[in-house]
């Protein structure tokens, strides 16, 4: 049975009246060996054309209302982007507008207008490092070979897997120390400007909150988590002049990156819906403040389609 037929069958049965949500971070002008999971513009446009042909693409706010009111259409799907990268505006937006597809952009406001997220500080540091090896043992991050792109990519994965769970200020200082040891500058043009966020909103795209500094909420005091969520929303509402009703948990793994108290906080603060990074598809009656997201990274249509079909049938997804 072909993947296209599999998708058609799954989307046509009553139990497939579920919401699939794709999560992206960046869309690159060209492929990058150090950002292997990030699609190029050509790959993203190809995937969006496939999505448009196989799903009914909704704005996330609309989909959340449909879930609440038990009127979700079959084959419903939402597109989301996390963090606030400038290529969301420069590369992804023109493709989305050309195809008439809505999307939601979750922005970590502390990095707007020239900031750089800790992970990108590390990625760009290792990209431009002139040394064949980087010694980070005293930072708790081991020693890493940097002789080839493959070694640099492996080093990036290993460093970030540990670094993202450091306390936010320690995480920032450590990332900048890595850049200094690598002899690399910290980029100031990777994230959107306030004006680009405003332009996304003006283009009909949804803007959602993603905290200020992108901390792992489970690793900080609840009062600080509340401030991160509130301040992010306030800044975005100031930029767009419109209410911000959607939230994405940083990193987003239930029970590891956020807990039940953070879900309760999202409700208390008045967000209409919030998204995690748990695999699965939501249906009416599910917790709108823990909507799962799943993005297969397969390049081939048939593999992407099969993974989406399998994920569509998952209901027992992880929650806090």
Residue 212 has pLDDT above 90, yes or no: yes
Mean confidence (pLDDT) of the chain = 94
pTM, entire model: 0.94
Read off the pLDDT of residues 239-266 as tens digits, 9 standing for 90 and up: 999 999 999 999 999 999 999 999 999 9
Question: Cα 261 vs. chain centroid, distance in angstroms?
Answer: 21
What local confidence, expressed as pLDDT, does residue 2 receive?
A: 55
Band of pLDDT at residue 5, cut at 50, 70 and 90: low
Band of pLDDT at residue 302, cut at 50, 70 and 90: confident
What local confidence, expressed as pLDDT, does residue 264 receive?
A: 98
Average pLDDT over residues 286-291: 97
Q: Are 39 and 85 in contact (CB under 8 A)?
A: no
Read off the pLDDT of residues 23-59 as tens digits, 9 standing for 90 and up: 999 999 999 999 999 999 999 999 999 999 999 999 9
Read off the pLDDT of residues 80-89 as tens digits, 9 standing for 90 and up: 999 999 999 9
Rounded to an integer, what distance in angstroms lies between the CA atom of residue 42 and that of residue 35? 15
Band of pLDDT at residue 15, cut at 50, 70 and 90: very low
Which of 111-125, 175-189, 295-309 shows the lowest per-residue confidence on average (mean pLDDT)? Answer: 295-309
What local confidence, expressed as pLDDT, does residue 111 receive?
A: 98
Average pLDDT over residues 221-225: 97
Read off the pLDDT of residues 110-143 as tens digits, 9 standing for 90 and up: 999 999 999 999 999 999 999 999 999 999 999 9
What local confidence, expressed as pLDDT, does residue 297 receive?
A: 86
Domains of the chain plus CATH, in order, are 3-113+189-312 (3.20.20.370), 118-182 (no CATH)
What local confidence, expressed as pLDDT, does residue 14 receive?
A: 40
CA distances for 66 relative to 31, 61, 285, 304, angstroms: 36, 9, 11, 26
Give percent of the chain above pLDDT 90.
Answer: 87
Residue 167 has pLDDT above 50, yes or no: yes
Nearest to 89 by CA among 240, 190, 188, 192: 192
Residue 12 has pLDDT above 60, yes or no: no
The dihedrals phi and psi of 62, each to the nearest 5 degrees, come to: -65, -40
Band of pLDDT at residue 195, cut at 50, 70 and 90: very high
Q: Are 293 and 21 in contact (CB under 8 A)?
A: yes
What local confidence, expressed as pLDDT, does residue 8 receive?
A: 59
What local confidence, expressed as pLDDT, does residue 17 receive?
A: 85
Residue 13 has pLDDT above 60, yes or no: no
CA quadruple 220, 223, 229, 234: dihedral, nearest 10: -140
């Amino acid at each position: 049975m072909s993947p296209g037929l599999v998708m058609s069958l799954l989307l046509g049965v009553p139990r497939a009246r579920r919401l699939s949500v794709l999560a992206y971070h960046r869309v690159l002008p060209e492929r990058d060996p150090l950002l292997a999971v990030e699609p190029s513009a050509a790959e993203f446009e190809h995937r969006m054309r496939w999505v448009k042909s196989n799903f009914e693409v909704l704005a996330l706010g609309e989909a959340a209302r449909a879930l609440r009111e038990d009127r979700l259409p079959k084959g419903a799907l939402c597109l989301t982007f996390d963090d606030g990268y400038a290529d969301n505006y420069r590369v992804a937006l023109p493709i989305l507008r050309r195809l008439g597809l809505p999307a939601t952009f979750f922005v970590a406001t502390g990095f707007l207008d020239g900031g750089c997220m800790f992970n990108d500080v590390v990625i760009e540091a290792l990209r431009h490092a002139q040394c064949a090896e980087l010694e980070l043992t005293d930072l708790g991050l081991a020693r890493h070979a940097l002789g080839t792109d493959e070694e640099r990519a492996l080093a990036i994965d290993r460093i970030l897997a540990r670094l993202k769970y450091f306390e936010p200020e320690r995480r920032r200082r450590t990332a900048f120390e890595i850049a200094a040891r690598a002899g690399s500058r910290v980029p100031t043009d990777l994230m959107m400007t306030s004006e680009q966020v405003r332009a996304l909103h003006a283009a009909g795209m949804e803007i959602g909150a993603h905290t200020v500094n992108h901390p792992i909420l489970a690793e900080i005091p609840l009062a600080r988590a509340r401030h991160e969520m509130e301040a992010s929303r306030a800044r975005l509402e100031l930029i767009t002049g419109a209410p911000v009703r959607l939230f994405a948990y940083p990193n987003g793994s239930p029970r590891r990156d956020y807990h039940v108290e953070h879900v309760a906080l999202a409700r208390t603060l008045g967000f209409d819906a919030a998204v995690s990074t748990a695999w699965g598809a939501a249906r009416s009656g599910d917790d709108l403040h823990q909507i799962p997201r799943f993005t297969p990274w397969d390049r081939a249509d048939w593999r992407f389609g099969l993974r989406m079909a399998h994920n569509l049938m998952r209901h027992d997804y992880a929650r806090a």
